[in-house]
Structure 1
């Protein structure tokens, strides 16, 4: 399950980068990069138990958590502004839905990673 979710997050990160970050800021680009690194570590490093692997995984996991909160928060504000101004463009609706799905999938990957690391 963790591997499939990691591959799903890789797909979401690539799609988010290609669809919504044409002139993105540094935080969004570095956040999606950390999600890619964390997803690759989760997908590839099933049996890795070295201290360097754990340090890098926990650091990238913390950065991915911050990025997931950023995605959910920005999606919430886009939705709230669309409702306040009664302007529902296709771009804002797609960005809100995609940000929500991407944020929830990052949080789910973090939960499964923590569960796996506690069992080892």
Structure 2
């Protein structure tokens, strides 16, 4: 399951990058890059069958949480303003859908990977 989640996160990161980030800021570009690196570290751990985390896992995992937090924060305010004005365009709907699926996928992946790391340590 961890391997499939990693591959789906990589695909979703590329879709999010192509659909939303036409001229990205440092935060958004670095966030996508860190999500990709974190998933690569997970795939490497899966291939080596060594789920013990090193400093890179913690750094990229925390930055991924921060990035996903900003995506969720922005999505909530976009959704609330769309509901307030009773209007939502197709572009906004697509962005919200991609953002929610991407955020949930990364959070689920992080949870499963932390659980696998915890089992490897104990």
TM-score (norm 2): 0.91
Provide the C-alpha distance between the structure 2 equivalents of 1:13 and 1:70, rounded to a whole number of angstroms: 15
Unpaired segments of 5 or more residues in structure 2? Answer: none
Provide the C-alpha distance between the structure 2 equivalents of 1:34 and 1:67, rounded to a whole number of angstroms: 9
The aligned residue for residue 94 of structure 2 is: 94
User: How many residues matched?
Assistant: 118
Give every structure 1 segment of 4 or more consecutive aligned residues whose post-TM-superposition deviation is greater than 4 Å.
none
Distance 1:100 1:49, change over 3 A: closer
- 1:33-81 Cα deviation digits (max 9, x unpaired): 100000111112222467xx61111111111111111111111111111
The aligned residue for residue 83 of structure 1 is: 83
Distance 1:82 1:105, change over 3 A: same
Unpaired segments of 5 or more residues in structure 1? Answer: none
Provide the C-alpha distance between the structure 1 equivalents of 2:95 and 2:105, rounded to a whole number of angstroms: 15
Alpha carbon RMSD of aligned pairs, Å?
1.3
Provide the C-alpha distance between the structure 2 equivalents of 1:76 and 1:38, rounded to a whole number of angstroms: 25
C-alpha deviation, 1:9, in angstroms:
0.4
Higher relative contact order (CA 8 A, sep 6+): 2
Is contact 2:51-2:116 (8 Å) kept?
A: no
TM-score (norm 1): 0.92
The aligned residue for residue 30 of structure 2 is: 30
SS at structure 2 position matched to 1:45: helix
